[in-house]
Amino acid sequence: MSTQPSSNNRRLVLFPLPLQGHINPMLQLANILHTKGFKITIIHTQFNPPPNQSNYPQFTFISISDGFSISNKDSTLNLDTSNYAINFMNKSCIHPFKGCLASLLEEEPVACLISDSLWHFTQSVADALNLPRIVLRTSSMSCMLVYATLPLVGEKGYFKTTIQELPLMTKKDILKIYSGGFEEGKLELISSMIKEAKAASGIIYNTFKELEEPAFLAISQDFCIPSFPIGPFHKYFPASSSSLLEQDRSSISWLDLQPVNSVVYVSFGSIAQIDEAEFANMASGLASSKQRFLWVVRPGSVLGSKWLESLPKGFIDEVGERGCIVKWAPQQEVLAHQAIGGFWTHCGWNSTLESICEGVPMICSPCSYDQPINAKYVTDVWRIGVMVEKGMEIGRAIKRVIVEKEGDEMRQRCKSLQKKVNLSLEKDGSATQALENLVEYILSF
């Protein structure tokens, strides 16, 4: 991959969505484009501002009011409140964002705006200011295709019949995407995201073409704008921290003491929440698996508990030295550690991609949004993981991946995807080429 800075010196304005799984890829993208010679300004909300801004002296950060942070001091969102927060801020940010962008344009020309796809309001602001907008989609291309078909699901009542436009997805998968219901504004959010992405000048994806070739071809037909699969972004640079929570590095020293491929890493990302019964079920699955585990229990992720209060009695003594529980981990480093044999994940896109990049097979417990789609690809298309179905014995699923031959085969398939990732980032690789095309495209504005 070439990271030679060119001297184009044009300014880009980036606007990340203030959630962990969206801040990380946007800052990584900012770094990538900076190495291509662009000057970077990042507009961000007061709510969940990008952390460690002093680590990025090369960027200009500008904060705008969002109306949300005033009434919500707590930065921990769950699936429902994040949905509400995004819908809320898509309205409350219109004026502050437009004002901020207009004054930037008075100071200096801007090549284009790059905003998260879920900031759908920014398309009309960019149109009004005559500025091209490129969308950053932080999930997979396959998910974008499924989302583009979802309004049909509601209209045609496909909940009752088979889903012809979505051959891979069963009715159960679709219902999972909608878990929480239509009434909470999910359909509105997804429909607006798709509509305004189609109205943009292009879409950047944190994925690579070889992983999703059929989706890439379908997207190129369905969306009449160029797509740039230039990911995985985190592979361009050594892990840099844009973590909203403090990463506990004791997890790495604990991993250093464990045998190769022996540990299951457990994390459900930054917003998923589970109830106490599910938490207890996870604990008993980890205990009955008899395998070593590193478990991220994010404070507030268990409904009704501050942290570990609802662990079954005797659990800590039972698992002893073979378990390590932390509040938040340096995940990319964890997944790259030789001791990791599997990843029990909610299948957020960043987690899925980070696991593929390290050749780690997955145990999938998707919750909502794109996670059921990602999980379906992991288990049925790439065949690098097992799905945890309701009522399934979790200890058994863990053993299938960590101990059994089946797990080894998944690991081999995942390692061959890892090789494809690395090839895509080489000089003539597809991601590098897509990045060159993106730079050229932006410079043509």
Closer to ligand UDP by CB, 13 or 357: give it: 357
Asked if residues 413 and 383 have their Cβ atoms less than 8 Å apart, the reply is yes
Shortest Å, Cβ 238 to ligand UDP: 14
Closer to ligand UDP by CB, 24 or 31: give it: 24
> Please, which of residues 281-300 interact with ligand UDP by CB under 6 A?
296
Binds ligand UDP (CB under 6 A): choice among 349, 414, 417, 442: 349
Dist. CA 140–CA 321, nearest whole Å: 37
> Please, which of residues 360-389 interact with ligand UDP by CB under 6 A?
none
Backbone angles phi, psi at 291, to 5 degrees: -100, 160
Binds ligand UDP (CB under 6 A): choice among 28, 87, 201, 270: 270
Shortest Å, Cβ 21 to ligand UDP: 2
Asked if residues 271 and 82 have their Cβ atoms less than 8 Å apart, the reply is yes
404 contacts: CB under 8 Å, gap ≥ 6: none
Q: Give the alpha-carbon dihedral of 210, 329, 361, 266, to 10 degrees.
A: -140
Dist. CA 165–CA 88, nearest whole Å: 31
# residues near ligand UDP by CB under 6 A:
19
Closer to ligand UDP by CB, 258 or 352: give it: 352
Dist. CA 395–CA 134, nearest whole Å: 44
Site string for ligand UDP, 317-336 (x = CB under 6 A): -----------xx-xx----
Binds ligand UDP (CB under 6 A): choice among 269, 285, 341, 359: 269
The one catalytic residue in 116, 234, 337, 370 is: 116
**Which H or E run contains 292?**
strand 292-296
Binds ligand UDP (CB under 6 A): choice among 207, 243, 368, 424: 243
Three-state secondary structure call for residue 361? coil
Asked if residues 21 and 272 have their Cβ atoms less than 8 Å apart, the reply is no
Q: Is the peptide bond before 312 cis (omega within 30 degrees of 0)?
A: no
Active site residue 22: yes
> Please, which of residues 6-65 interact with ligand UDP by CB under 6 A?
20-21, 24
Query: What is the torsional sign of CA 174, 180, 183, 186?
Result: negative
Q: Determine, following the binding rule CB under 6 A, whether residue 351 of this chain makes contact with ligand UDP.
A: yes
Closer to ligand UDP by CB, 112 or 215: give it: 215
Interface contacts to ligand UDP, rule CB under 6 A: 20-21, 24, 243, 267, 269-272, 296, 328-329, 331-332, 348-351, 354
Point out the residues that are catalytic.
22, 116
